[in-house]
């Protein structure tokens, strides 16, 4: 692993192995028994004036570092960026001082109609310039760099001119933002579109990767669906091992959004990620000393 002169790695601390904080586990935060390296929360769930969710976020922030993860900025869309959304996100970030703010590299609305889905972009120079400009505007408004996340997909555009990983890396370089690398999304898309998931990792530089996501998916027979309702499956663990081998230690987070098990079970997945990282890094160190 070598770092380029424009590496963001020194600016994006390894927070450890955290979990996405979801409502069934709010009581564990409120009673102070939620022990975890860090939390990621869905920004939109806290862009409100008051009430229990903000009390939860206040308490979570006192327990561990927090990252704000957005789902509806419509970064790749053609509607104007939503100023009110950005204002509310800026206020939330100013108040809770997250380790960073992230969003999805996708589109999800058109004509102010929201699809409630994270839809893929065509991977073209035109889309690259468009989305990079919007990321820059968001960063200017928030006064901070954001991380953009690769989404899973079920279709591709026939007029794409570059691989998804080339597009992701180029957006990060052009917009001067970071990357949230979702290893499960890479695996889901790789199976659905027939590319090698390791090729995706090989096409990215470590310099801009600030976080990794792990999650479970479902097999629909003809394709995989990014459901976040299962433990992390073995092929995703294998790809995570490869990511750690290639990129070294990166802040990692387990997402579990449906059929959410106990707090302990989600934390156990984060602990397994910690063990995988330690095992891979230990093996790398042993190889160096041989």
Site residues for Fe ion per CB under 5 A = 182, 213
Beta bridge pairs of residue 147: 102, 178
For 279, half-sphere exposure in the C-beta direction (CA atoms, 13 angstrom radius) is 12
Identity of the residue, 164 or 182, whose beta carbon is nearer to Fe ion in the bound complex:
182
d(CA 218, CA 261): 16
Q: Indicate the DSSP class of residue 44.
A: G
Q: Identify how many contiguous H helices and E strands the chain contains and give both numbers.
A: 9, 12
Q: Which residue is nearest to Fe ion (CB)?
A: 213
- Nearest partner of 249 among 37, 9, 39, judged by Cα: 9
* Shortest spacing between CB 102 and Fe ion, in angstroms: 9
Number of neighbours of residue 154 by Cβ within 10 angstroms: 15
Identity of the residue, 181 or 276, whose beta carbon is nearer to Fe ion in the bound complex:
181
* Shortest spacing between CB 55 and Fe ion, in angstroms: 26
Identity of the residue, 69 or 130, whose beta carbon is nearer to Fe ion in the bound complex:
69
Identity of the residue, 31 or 244, whose beta carbon is nearer to Fe ion in the bound complex:
244
Identity of the residue, 37 or 226, whose beta carbon is nearer to Fe ion in the bound complex:
226
* Shortest spacing between CB 219 and Fe ion, in angstroms: 18
* Shortest spacing between CB 161 and Fe ion, in angstroms: 26
* Shortest spacing between CB 67 and Fe ion, in angstroms: 12
Number of neighbours of residue 11 by Cβ within 10 angstroms: 10
């Amino acid at each position: 692993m070598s770092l380029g002169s424009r590496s963001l790695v020194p600016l994006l601390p390894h927070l450890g192995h955290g979990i996405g904080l979801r409502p069934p586990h709010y009581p564990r935060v409120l009673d102070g028994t939620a022990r975890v390296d860090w939390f990621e929360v869905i920004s939109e769930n806290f862009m409100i004036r008051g009430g229990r969710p903000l009390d939860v976020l206040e308490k979570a922030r006192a327990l561990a570092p927090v990252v704000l993860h957005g789902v509806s900025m419509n970064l790749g869309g053609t509607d104007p960026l939503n100023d009110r959304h950005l204002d509310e996100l800026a206020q939330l970030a100013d108040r809770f001082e997250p380790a960073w703010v992230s969003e999805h590299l996708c589109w999800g609305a058109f004509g102010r109609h929201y699809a409630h889905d994270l839809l893929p972009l065509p991977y073209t120079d035109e889309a690259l310039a468009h989305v990079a400009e919007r990321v820059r505007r968001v960063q200017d408004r928030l006064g901070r760099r954001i991380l953009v996340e690769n989404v899973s997909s079920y279709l591709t555009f026939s007029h794409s001119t570059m691989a998804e990983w080339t597009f992701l890396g180029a957006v990060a370089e052009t917009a001067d933002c970071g990357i949230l690398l979702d290893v499960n999304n890479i695996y889901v898309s790789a199976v659905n579109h027939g590319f090698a998931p390791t090729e995706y990792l090989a096409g990215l530089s470590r310099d801009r990767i600030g976080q990794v996501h792990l999650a479970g998916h479902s097999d629909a027979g003809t394709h995989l669906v990014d459901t976040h309702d299962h433990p992390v499956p073995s092929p995703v663990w294998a790809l995570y091992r490869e990511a750690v081998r290639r990129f070294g230690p990166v802040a990692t987070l387990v997402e579990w959004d449906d059929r959410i098990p106990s707090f302990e079970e989600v934390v156990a997945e984060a602990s397994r990620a910690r063990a995988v990282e330690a095992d891979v890094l230990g093996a790398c160190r042993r190889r160096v000393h041989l």
